[in-house]
Amino acid sequence: MIGVLLAAGSSSRLGEPKALINLGQKTLVERSLQVLQAPFIDTIVVVLGAEKEPIKVLISHERVEVLESQEWHLGQGNTLSECMRVLAPRKEPILVMLVDTPFVQEKHIEAIIVAHQKNPSQVIISSFQGQSSPPVLIPFEHQHKLYEWKGDKGFGPFWKSHPDICQWISFDEEYRDLDTTEDKKYWQENWDK
C-alpha cells in the first residue's frame, strides 16, 4: 500500500506554505509523515509543487519518495490525477492524506486500513462529525476514475458520483483544516500533542 501526502499547493489563502507551519515541535509535513508511518503502508509519496525545496529538507524518512508535480499550479484535482497516473504501474491501493489536516491521527489511518482489509474493493472515506474528507483509501481498480481530475476539485464530486463503491468511516473528531490565518491561530493555541 502507498500512502500519498498531498503538499503541493501554494497556500494562497494563508499566505505562507502550510507544510512548513509548526505545531508544537514539528512542522505539518513532519507531523503528517509521522501519521502515515502506519503498518501496511510500505511506501510514502509526498507530492510537492510550490515551496518544494524547503519542504524537501524536512523529509528524511527511508520509506518516503518525493513526487514533484508538474501541474500543482492548476489545482488539487490536477495534482491528484497526476499522482494517480504516475503511481498506476505499481497497481497498489493508495491512501491519500492532505498536509493541512492536523486533526488526522494514526488511529484514523489504522481504522481506514482495517476497513480496507475487510472490503478491499471499496473506496474508504473518512467522515469527521459528518464532514467527508481525506484520508481516503482508493483501491487500484478505482484509481483510473481520478486520472482526468482537474482544477480545484477535491474528492467530493468523486464520492457523490460513485456512492456504490464507497464506504464511510465515522470519527468523533471535528473537521478543521488549516487554510487561513484564523485556522493557524486556532491550531497553534490548541495544539497539545
Average pLDDT over residues 109-133: 96
What is residue 95's predicted lDDT score, i.e. its pLDDT?
98
Distance from first CA to last CA of the chain, Å, rounded? Answer: 27
Sequence-distant (≥ 6) Cβ neighbours of residue 88 within 8 angstroms: 140, 143, 144, 147
Cβ proximity of 46 and 64 under 8 Å: yes
Look at 63 and 145; give whichever has higher pLDDT: 145
pTM above 0.85, yes or no: yes
What is residue 133's predicted lDDT score, i.e. its pLDDT?
92
pLDDT tens digits, one per residue of 56-115: 888 876 779 999 988 888 888 889 999 999 999 999 999 999 999 999 999 999 999 999
Average pLDDT over residues 4-10: 88
Residue with cell 505545531: 23
> Out of 88-92, 137-141, 155-159, which region has the weakest mean confidence (pLDDT)?
155-159
Cα separation, 63 vs 171, in Å, equals: 28
What is residue 12's predicted lDDT score, i.e. its pLDDT?
67
Torsion on CA atoms 69, 70, 73, 75, rounded to nearest 10 = -60
CA-only gyration radius of the chain, Å: 15
Give the other-Cβ count within 10 Å of 144's Cβ.
Answer: 11
For the chain, the farthest-separated pair of C-alpha atoms sits apart, in whole angstroms, at 43
What is residue 193's predicted lDDT score, i.e. its pLDDT?
55
> Out of 12-16, 103-107, 117-121, 155-159, which region has the weakest mean confidence (pLDDT)?
12-16
Cα separation, 110 vs 48, in Å, equals: 25
> What domains sit in the chain, N to C, each tagged with a CATH number?
2-190 (3.90.550.10)
Cα separation, 142 vs 140, in Å, equals: 5
pLDDT tens digits, one per residue of 12-66: 677 678 888 899 889 999 999 999 988 889 999 999 987 888 888 888 767 799 9
